[in-house]
Each structure stands twice: as C-alpha cells, then as structure tokens.
Amino acid sequence: MKNNKDDRTDNVDRIQCNIDNTIQNVRLANDVIEKTSDEKMKKTLESKNQLREEALAGMKKEIKEEAMAKENNYK
C-alpha cells in the first residue's frame, strides 16, 4: 500500500476560505439576532457566534503558521 504524500500547498487557501465562511456566518447570525424577538433563538445564535469567534482565533493562528511553513518550503 502506498502512502499519500502530505500535500499542504493549498492549506493557506483552504483555511482562508474557512475564515471567510465563518465571518459570513457570524454576520448572518448577527442580522437574525437584531431582527428576531425570540429570546431563545438570540441566546442560541449568540452562543454559536462565541464558538465561531473562538474558532476564528484558532484559524488565524493556523493560517499564520501555514504561511510561514509555505515561505520555508514546508521544511
């Protein structure tokens, strides 16, 4: 059985796409929070946005690490 080579060349692009999608989801959730009177939904969306913000922090750290690895030719 052959091992697949670890191809990290698209990691920065993939992570950036995930960051962009997460930011869009935060904005959409904020729009719903502003427009709804359902307190349960507001709390649920606020909780989800908190998790998204934490995930964004991790993705931003990861993209910096991947960008540095790419500059160093993944050595």
pLDDT digits (tens, 9 = 90+) for 47-61: 999 999 999 999 999
> Is 33:52 a contact under the CB 8 Å cutoff?
no
Give the N- to C-terminal CA distance of the chain in Å, as an integer.
26
Specify the DSSP class assigned to residue 22: H
Give Dmax over CA atoms of the chain in angstroms.
57
Tally the domains of the chain: 1
In this predicted structure, the answer to whether residue 3 has a pLDDT above a threshold of 70 is no
Binned at pLDDT 50, 70 and 90, residue 72 comes out as: confident
Model confidence pLDDT, tens digit, residues 20-44: 999 999 999 999 999 999 999 999 9
- Measured N-to-C along each axis, helices 11-35 and 39-71 cross at an angle, to the nearest 10 degrees, of 160
Residue 49: predicted pLDDT: 98
33, part of any domain: yes
- Contact predicate 48/29, CB 8 Å: yes
Residue 5 lies in a domain: no
The pTM of this model reads 0.82
Domain coverage including residue 61: 11-70
In a domain, residue 60? The reply is yes
